[in-house]
């Protein structure tokens, strides 16, 4: 569906660049790693998160920019994209330098002081060296394959983001070949960080890097030859999948064929150890067809993401965030029959402060309840090991009508979703893949149950769960999200209509309450913004508060600018990319933008409109982005219960507007300044943990 022409778009000069805004978010995450008030192992985790985020940034955003430059070169207008690429590249080089300086100069020494030591190869004792030798011979040597480079052995195809070693050699091998270089690929099954026995290190947590082990014994892979140098490196590749709508007959089969090729897309970044010689660096750049500025020399391991196993595996609660136990709403604590509880009242779940277990329990009850006749569910990201999917499988095996809309194009979750789709079909479920060209991103569960009413008449009643986040039990412990459990007939009927669109054919019905992308979500949002502007022009109060992950869509931004000019007070809580320029006189002086970066990933989408005192509150699976409005199937649903509406405002908005501990405020140029903690310290996530969670 093309962009709507009903609304004007913001002028290009009034919009900030998306890629630069995303990098600004990475800097805010890096600031968490630099903050001495953050527990030490969590600081290391934040460093790993920055690396993981940058990996995806290169795989998708930088890869896309390179394609734009390539296409622009054919049309003679590559310069703008080329300038942006160079600007972004400079910022990333600076960011990576700061990241490694923080790791080497602060975090690793601080960890060592706490008995979490990464043993340098040059300082190994004889006993440690012997243990490492035995480990190499028993665990590494049998699974590693060195590849000498000569006319019979061309440069190997290397997997995306895999750890590799470029080895410089001299001498002749057993066949008399004068080989000067070789590539050693580290199997992905090998741990990148290896724990040594405490008796050898004198500390509970003494580690060596896999790269150190290989460096120490690389000579054993090239018997009789002299190793001049060994340098770890990693290449990042374009990982975006392209599927031609006109060519596809079976989306699942097509994707299965494409997924393997993702690991061998065009190179976009080379990372090498800073000890690598210029000659070897240039050789690698030539192999991957990269320019020198696309090489990142790093003083340490080339894949910091793999350090994530340290905070995950080290048992030092004193160096991590305090553990907590998510709670459940009081209405569910009575242990009444779950369907009866939802019939009596809508229930709101606020994750991770409140447990995701009621959603799992609802699906489990539906699978086992003989009165349940049908279950419908959307699956975007659910993980490779999902209790939710197991319950769907059980329901299908019991003969219930199970319809599952599986989004096969959920980036980096395609393989898991393909596998779940196959298992569900084998169990007898009806599996569809939504609408080609539109990702199904809405989070919806609908359960249809045969029940008796108060007069003894038998009929069908529906129950729904709608959420802002994925049906992924693990991420509900780390992402902030809202979920609504309801038996409201009008809401459930809207959900039923959306499922009917996804699984069948026909025109879209007008929904009673839900704003649905790609049909009514953008227009619903803009009309609500315009209503606030009209109220302000008439001398009444106009107030908008919106919390989301990203704000990029130009027509929505223009509506916000016009509302600001009309006198509407607009408060935006945007975690990551934001193209709107706040605080510009005559344009947006009534708009402020803040970003919260804390212990949990802020993921909930909450939209508040004053509406002449009626206070309309919506929760949504969608950010205010082009892709969410026009290229995805999304659900934005109102909170109708007055008590729950007050809860969403009290928990989902007010603490974040008052936060002066984890909040960053944005200026009109897209730069962020951390709020200074003056007076009473207010941390939104900590206060919600105190109010809703339970300490362990």
Start-to-end CA span in the chain (Å): 49
SS3 annotation, 1-17: CCCCCCCCCCCHHHECC
**CB-based contact 635:498 (threshold 8 Å):** yes
Asked if residue 352 has a cis previous peptide bond (ω within 30° of 0), the answer is yes
**CB-based contact 172:274 (threshold 8 Å):** no
Question: Which are the contacts of 171, defined by CB distance < 8 A and separation ≥ 6?
Answer: 178, 224, 225, 226
DSSP single-letter state for residue 590: T
CA–centroid distance for 175 within its chain: 50
**What b-and-e string marks burial along 304-325, b requiring 16 or more CB atoms within 10 Å of the CB?**
bbbbbebbeebebeebbbeebe
Which residue positions form the known binding site for ATP?
53, 479, 575, 603
**CB-based contact 236:268 (threshold 8 Å):** yes
- β-pair type (515-517, 632-638): antiparallel
Catalytic residue selected from 14, 351, 441, 465: 441
DSSP single-letter state for residue 222: S
Q: How far apart are CA 168 and CA 273, in angstroms?
A: 14
Q: How far apart are CA 245 and CA 503, in angstroms?
A: 18
| Token pair 């374009």: residue | 238
Q: Which of 582, 549, 589, 586 is nearest to 568 (CA)?
A: 589
93 is catalytic: no
Question: Token pair for residue 582?
Answer: 């706040």
Q: How far apart are CA 48 and CA 304, in angstroms?
A: 6
Residue 260 phi, psi dihedral angles, 5° rounding: -60, -35
Strand partners, 450: 460
Answer left, alpha or beta for residue 114, where phi above 0 means left and psi between -120 and 50 means alpha. Answer: alpha
Which residue positions form the known binding site?
53, 381, 411, 479, 575, 603
**CB-based contact 227:167 (threshold 8 Å):** yes
Question: Which are the contacts of 77, defined by CB distance < 8 A and separation ≥ 6?
Answer: none
Vertex 305: Cα angle to 84 and 475 (nearest 5)? 95
Q: How far apart are CA 572 and CA 268, in angstroms?
A: 34
Q: Which of 478, 477, 432, 488 is nearest to 641 (CA)?
A: 488
Determine the 3-state secondary structure of 179 from DSSP: coil
Question: Which are the contacts of 72, defined by CB distance < 8 A and separation ≥ 6?
Answer: 78, 79, 80, 81, 82
**CB-based contact 522:630 (threshold 8 Å):** yes
Catalytic residue positions, numbered: 441
């Amino acid at each position: 569906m093309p962009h709507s022409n009903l609304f004007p778009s913001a002028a290009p000069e009034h919009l900030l660049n998306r890629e630069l805004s995303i990098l600004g978010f990475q800097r805010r995450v890096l600031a968490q790693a630099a903050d001495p008030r953050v527990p030490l192992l969590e600081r290391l985790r934040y460093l790993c998160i920055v690396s993981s985020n940058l990996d995806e940034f290169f795989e998708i955003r930088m890869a896309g920019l390179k394609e734009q430059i390539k296409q622009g070169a054919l049309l003679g207008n590559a310069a703008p994209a080329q300038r942006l690429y160079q600007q972004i590249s400079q910022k990333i080089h600076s960011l990576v330098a700061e990241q490694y300086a923080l790791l080497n100069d602060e975090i690793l020494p601080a960890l060592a002081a706490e008995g979490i030591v990464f043993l340098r190869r040059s300082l190994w004792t004889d006993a440690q060296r012997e243990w490492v030798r035995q480990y190499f011979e028993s665990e590494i040597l049998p699974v590693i394959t060195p590849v000498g480079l000569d006319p019979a052995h061309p440069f190997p195809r290397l997997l995306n983001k895999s750890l590799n070693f470029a080895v410089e050699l001299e001498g002749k091998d057993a066949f008399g070949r004068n080989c000067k270089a070789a590539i050693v690929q580290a199997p992905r099954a090998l741990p990148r960080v290896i724990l040594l026995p405490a008796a050898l290190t004198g500390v509970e947590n003494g580690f060596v890097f896999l790269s150190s082990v290989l460096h120490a014994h690389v000579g054993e892979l090239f018997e009789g030859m002299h190793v001049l140098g060994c340098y770890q490196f990693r290449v990042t590749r374009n990982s975006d999948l392209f599927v031609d709508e006109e060519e596809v007959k079976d989306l699942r089969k097509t994707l299965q064929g494409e997924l393997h090729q993702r690991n061998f897309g065009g190179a976009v970044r080379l990372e090498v150890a800073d000890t690598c010689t210029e000659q070897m660096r240039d050789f690698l750049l030539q192999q991957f067809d990269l320019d020198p500025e696309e090489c990142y020399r790093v003083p340490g391991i080339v894949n910091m993401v793999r350090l994530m196993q340290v905070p995950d595996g080290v048992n030092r609660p004193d160096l991590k965030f305090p553990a907590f136990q998510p709670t459940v709403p009081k209405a569910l604590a009575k242990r009444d029959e779950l369907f009866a509880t939802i019939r009596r009242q809508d229930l709101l779940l606020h994750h991770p402060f409140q447990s995701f277990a009621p959603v799992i329990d609802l699906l489990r009850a539906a699978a086992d309840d003989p009165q349940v006749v049908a279950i419908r569910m959307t699956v975007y990201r659910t993980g490779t090991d999902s209790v939710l999917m197991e319950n769907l499988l059980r329901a299908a095996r019991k003969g219930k009508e199970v319809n599952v809309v599986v989004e096969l194009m959920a980036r980096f979750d395609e393989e898991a979703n393909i596998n779940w789709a196959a298992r569900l079909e084998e169990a007898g479920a009806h599996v569809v893949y939504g609408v080609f060209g539109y990702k199904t991103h809405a989070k919806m569960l609908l359960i249809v149950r045969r029940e008796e009413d108060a007069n003894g008449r038998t009929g069908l009643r529906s129950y729904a769960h709608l959420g802002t986040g994925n049906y992924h039990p693990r991420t509900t412990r780390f992402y902030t999200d809202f979920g609504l459990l309801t038996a409201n007939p009008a809401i459930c009927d809207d959900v039923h209509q959306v499922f009917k669109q996804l699984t069948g054919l026909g025109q879209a019905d007008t929904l009673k309450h839900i704003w649905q992308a790609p049909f009514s979500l953008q227009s619903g949002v803009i009309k609500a913004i315009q209503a606030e502007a009209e109220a302000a022009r008439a001398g009444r109060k106009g107030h908008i508060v919106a919390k989301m992950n990203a704000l990029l869509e130009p027509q929505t931004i223009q509506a916000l600018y016009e509302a600001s000019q009309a006198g509407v007070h607009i408060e935006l809580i945007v975690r990551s990319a934001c193209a709107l320029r706040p605080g510009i006189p005559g344009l947006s002086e009534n708009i402020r933008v803040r970003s919260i970066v804390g212990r949990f990933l802020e993921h909930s989408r909450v939209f508040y409109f004053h509406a002449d005192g009626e206070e309309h509150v919506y929760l949504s699976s969608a950010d205010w982005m082009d892709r969410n409005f026009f290229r995805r199937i999304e659900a934005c649903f109102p909170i109708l219960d007055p008590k729950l509406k007050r809860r969403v405002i009290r928990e989902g908005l007010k603490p974040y507007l008052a936060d002066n501990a984890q909040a960053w405020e944005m200026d009109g140029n897209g730069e962020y300044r951390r709020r200074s903690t003056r007076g009473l310290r207010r941390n939104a996530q900590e206060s919600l943990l105190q109010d809703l969670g339970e300490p362990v």
